[in-house]
Amino acid sequence: MPTVSTRRVVITGMGAISPLGVGAAALWQGLREGRSAIGPLRHPDAERLRVKVAAQVPESFDPAAHIDERTLPLLDRTSEFALHAAREAVAQSGVDFAGGLGLRTAVIVGTGVGGETTQDEQSRRLYAENAQRAHPLTIVRLMTNASASQISIAYGLHGPTYAVASACASANHAIIQAAQMIRYGMADAAVTGGTEACLTYGALRAWEAMRVVADDTCRPFSANRRGLVLGEGAGIFVLESLEHAQARGATILAELAGTGMSADASDIVMPSAEGAATAMRLALAEAELNPQDVDYINAHGTGTQANDATETRAIRLAFGAYADRLAVSSTKSMHGHALGASGALELVAAIGALRDSVVPPTANLDQVDPACDLDYVPNVAREMPVRAVLSNSFAFGGLNAVLALKRAP
């Protein structure tokens, strides 16, 4: 029996809801096809907004069809997404939390802004409609930890349960925290990931003001890129120690072999190549991977001028000459930038690449940028051997979180 400091962590279940459809399979299929879910913004105030495009969960998604009618009134859209994705992940894993496992299962969910839909709706009532009181369930809907708490309640999970909020790195930070709890013996299993529903009038106005939002589509690493495109959704995963998963005969999707975290400590919005490279090096070291062992990087790849060029430099710093042999792609070109949920949606892509030996493309890449000079798998998925993958998340605030995955043991 290995010591707690060397426990291996594996993924046995995944669930998702994304602009590409309901379910992790729909997300992965859309990414394999290189199909972008970015389209005209659906919003009651769309005519008043300069933001004209977004990546939104399909209108056909009906939370009432999947969530108990007594629970639904307690939920912000963020928690609706998280609960739906958690249900899929737990079902796929086949895990049974009875018999004491519920006491040893953590729930850690990342979100950048939490219950923004509730916040926006109640602010409108109070300030625009002069309402004299807020809805009595406002706090339990909008609090950042609501999604984690609702998953804990739904499955009777009594282990450490909390939210992680680190902007665009929230999901990866949450997954890292969950993995480390298992690795060091604080838990035997975890339900973790990220969720976001940020396409509100107030949030869209705020992003407009930053002038980093594209007006056409998301074109990561392309010379004609015009900025990011906001998205929404959730990805939730079941993590277990390798021993626990093998003992119950679970199907293992991938091994979460290493993680890396760093802070740039330099600028609140301008990314640092060295900070990002540090997180990648740490993930490689914990996973006991050499640069040449990695075949694919799912890049942060937002489509902004600063991020894409900086991430390219960071990959070169971390991988040296081997960077030219890596396949690198940004799936945000298809599912948009879901802020705190992005890393979770991208983990679905990383697992798919490992399992199917298919690297999803960078959609909309049609012009070469000399500052972005790696192999970005333009527009069409590539069948190729994939032994190990890095998945990058880099956030405003200079916060970096990287996952390293290997094929299932």
Identify the bridge partners of residue 393 per DSSP, sorted by sequence position: 401
173 is catalytic: no
218 is catalytic: no
Q: Which two tokens stand for residue 14?
A: 């995944």
Q: Which of 111, 40, 34 is nearest to 79 (CA)?
A: 111
Task: Tell me which residue has tokens 């406002």.
Answer: 138
Q: Which two tokens stand for residue 326?
A: 């890596």
Q: Which two tokens stand for residue 409?
A: 């043991």
Candidates 168, 198, 218, 372; catalytic one: 168
Query: Which stretches does DSSP call E strand in 118-182?
Result: 161-164
CA distances from 376 to 268, 299, 324, 407 (A): 27, 9, 10, 22
CB pairs under 8 A, 24+ apart, for 316-324?
316/374, 317/273, 317/274, 317/277, 318/276, 318/277, 318/280, 318/281, 318/284, 318/291, 319/280, 319/291, 319/294, 320/291, 322/291, 322/292, 323/374, 324/374, 324/375
168 is catalytic: yes
Q: Which of 398, 360, 341, 385 is nearest to 86 (CA)?
A: 341
Candidates 84, 173, 244, 300; catalytic one: 300
Q: Which of 208, 240, 200, 220 is nearest to 114 (CA)?
A: 200
- Report how far residue 13's alpha carbon sits from residue 151's, in angstroms, rounded to the nearest whole number: 15
Candidates 244, 335, 337, 372; catalytic one: 337
Catalogue the active-site residues.
168, 300, 337
